[in-house]
């Protein structure tokens, strides 16, 4: 079992690339996590985890990450990705991810409502909400990526 992360950082990036995978990789680089090994995780923020604005993680590190991403090869299409975190006090939190053919504002509103719904279903009071999104207008092959990196 990995140690429980004590920090979290919301990141987002958008980019073009010659292929879908290159567009995704370039969006990771734009988000500041392109040189990390992302371990995709389900959506629970550990209790007591502290929000940190800037990642300080060595390249190649294994980083638990909840993320939403969308890649498109339709020129002119608007795509967006967003993540949201809700929590009650210093208790555990819930992370939601969203991506779609929409604006940043629509993606952020959608993910915020997803967080609220998760708290209602858990019968927990939502006292803190973090949301971060990004949009991209596709030129040839583009990607929008938003994530919550959980780290130590």
CATH of the domain at 141: 3.50.20.10
The verdict on residue 145 lying in a domain is: yes
The verdict on residue 99 lying in a domain is: yes
- Cα separation, 151 vs 140, in Å, equals 34
Burial of 45 (0-12, 13-18, 19+ CB in 10 A): buried
Tens of pLDDT, residue by residue over 110-125, are 999 999 999 999 999 9
The verdict on residue 11 lying in a domain is: yes
The verdict on residue 2 lying in a domain is: no
Tens of pLDDT, residue by residue over 52-71, are 999 999 999 999 999 999 99
Q: Is there a catalytic annotation at residue 42?
A: yes
Tens of pLDDT, residue by residue over 86-112, are 999 888 999 999 999 999 999 999 999
The verdict on residue 50 lying in a domain is: yes
Note the pLDDT of residue 89: 87
Q: Is there a catalytic annotation at residue 97?
A: yes
Q: Is there a catalytic annotation at residue 103?
A: no
- Cα separation, 74 vs 92, in Å, equals 39
Q: How many domains does the chain have?
A: 1
The verdict on residue 146 lying in a domain is: yes
pTM of the entire predicted model: 0.96
Is residue 15's pLDDT more than 80?
Answer: yes
The verdict on residue 100 lying in a domain is: yes
Q: Is there a catalytic annotation at residue 43?
A: yes
Is residue 1's pLDDT more than 80?
Answer: no
Torsions phi, psi for 65 (to 5 deg): -145, 130
- Cα separation, 118 vs 96, in Å, equals 9
Residue 114: which domain range? 7-151
User: Which candidate in 14, 72, 97, 108 is catalytic?
Assistant: 97
Percent of the chain clearing pLDDT 90 (strictly above) = 95
The confidence band for 33, taking pLDDT boundaries of 50, 70 and 90, is very high
């Amino acid at each position: 079992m990995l140690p429980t992360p004590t920090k979290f950082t919301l990141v987002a990036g958008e980019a073009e690339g010659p292929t879908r995978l290159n567009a995704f990789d370039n969006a990771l680089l734009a988000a500041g996590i392109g040189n990390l090994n992302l371990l995709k995780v389900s959506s629970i923020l550990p209790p007591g985890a502290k929000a940190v604005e800037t990642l300080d993680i060595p390249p190649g590190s294994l980083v638990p990450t909840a993320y939403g991403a969308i890649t498109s090869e339709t020129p002119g299409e608007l795509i967006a990705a967003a993540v949201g975190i809700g929590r009650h006090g210093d208790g555990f939190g819930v992370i939601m991810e969203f991506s779609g053919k929409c604006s940043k504002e629509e993606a952020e509103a959608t993910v915020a409502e997803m967080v609220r719904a998760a708290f209602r279903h858990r019968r927990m009071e939502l006292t803190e909400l973090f949301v971060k999104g990004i949009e991209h207008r596709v030129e040839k092959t583009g990607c929008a990526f938003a994530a919550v990196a959980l780290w130590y």
